[in-house]
Amino acid sequence: MHIVQLSDIHVGSGLFKPDLLVAAVEETNALAPDLVAVAGDLTTEGYRHEFEEVRGYLDRLECPNVVVVMGNHDARNVGYRHFEDFFGARERAKTIRVPEGEAKLVALDTTKPDLDEGEVGREHYGWIDAEFRGWDRGPRILVIHHHILAVPGTGRDRNSLRDAGDVMALLRELGVDLVLAGHRHVPYVWSIVGVRVIHSGTVSSLRLRGTMPPSYNLIEVGADEVRVTMRTPGRREAEEPLATFAREAVSTSHFYPAFERFVRFERLPFMDSSRTQGQAPAGGGRSIGR
C-alpha cells in the first residue's frame, strides 16, 4: 500500500507558494498511491474563497481515495461550514482496497471553532472503537490534524490534543497501525508499542520551523516493512528517509491494569457482545460521514 500524506497547505497566507502545491500534486499523481491523506490546515483564516481555491488544487489529484480533514485554521470564522460544502462530512470511516486486502480508514475532525488546540472528544471514542476493533483485513489508519505526541524541533509544545492520554490508550488497545497528523509543520515519526504516529510538514508554505523545508510524506506499507520518506515538492533530489519499521510491532511489553480502568465508555448497541466479550467496553460515539 502506498500513501501520500499532505498537510498544512495554508492557502490565503502571504507565505503560501502555489508552485509547491502544484508540484506536490503532480508528483503525487506520478506515484499513483492507493490513498492521499490531507491532514488539515487547508486554509489560513477559514474563509470561503480560501476553501474554493484549495479545492481547485486538490481536484487535480487523480487518486480515487482522497481523504481530507480539517485543521485549526480551517475552523476559524465558522470555516467548518465551508469545509462541508467543498469537502463533505468532517468525519468519516471507509474501507480502501489495497494490494494486500483492505485498509480501514477513520478520518476525524479534532478542531474546535476559533481555538488552536484540539480534542478527539469522548463522544467519538465509541465510534473509533466500533470501526477498528477486530479489524484484521489490512492496515488500521487514523487521520487527524492535531498532534498526539510532542514533536521535536517545534519550540515550546502547545496546541496538542487535550485528551491525548485517553486517545493514545484507546489506539493502543485497538491496535491502530498508523496515525497521520500535521499541525506542527515538522515531519517526524513516533512509534509507541505498535502505534506509529506520522507527522507531515507544511507542503506548500514557508511557515517553517528550524531547518525543515516544505515537505510531504510518502508512506510505503509492505508485507514486512513500512518506510516513510520525506519529499520536498519540486526537488526529487532532496528526498530523505524519515523512518523505517517492521510492519508488525515487535514488543515484549505487557501493560496493567486493564484498559477500562482508565478509559471507559458505554457499549454501542449494535456491537456483537460475543465478539467483544472480555474486551474493553465501547460505545457512545456517533458515526458521521460517507
CATH of the domain at 171: 3.60.21.10
| pLDDT recorded at residue 78 | 96
Residue 290 lies in a domain: no
Residue 286 lies in a domain: no
> Are residues 170 and 130 in contact, defined by beta-carbon separation less than 8 angstroms?
no
Residue 287 lies in a domain: no
User: For the CA atoms of the chain, what is the radius of gyration?
Assistant: 18
Q: Which stretches of the chain drop beneath a pLDDT of 70?
A: 267-290
Residue 64 lies in a domain: yes
**One-letter amino acid identity for 90?**
R
Q: Which domain holds residue 106?
A: 2-276
| pLDDT recorded at residue 140 | 96
Residue 288 lies in a domain: no
Task: Kindly give the pairing relationship between strand 195-199 and strand 178-181.
Answer: parallel
* DSSP reduced 3-state for 35: strand
Q: How far apart are CA 227 and CA 225, in angstroms?
A: 7
* DSSP reduced 3-state for 22: helix
| Grid coordinates of 208 | 517553517
Residue 120 lies in a domain: yes
Name residue, grid cell 506536490.
24
Count of domains forming the chain:
1
Paired strand residues for 217: 5, 230
Give the closest residue to 69 by CA, choosing from 57, 53, 56, 80.
Answer: 80
Residue-by-residue DSSP string for 168-222: HHHHHHHT--EEEE-SSSS-EEEEETTEEEEE---SSBS---TTPPS-EEEEEE-
| pLDDT recorded at residue 284 | 40
Q: How far apart are CA 106 and CA 128, in angstroms?
A: 7
| pLDDT recorded at residue 267 | 64
Residue 165 lies in a domain: yes
Give the closest residue to 90 by CA, choosing from 46, 59, 49, 130.
Answer: 46
Q: How far apart are CA 14 and CA 16, in angstroms?
A: 6
Paired strand residues for 3: 35, 219
Residue 285 lies in a domain: no
Q: How far is CA 285 from CA 67, 103, 120, 150, in A?
A: 21, 21, 11, 27
| Model pTM above 0.85 | yes
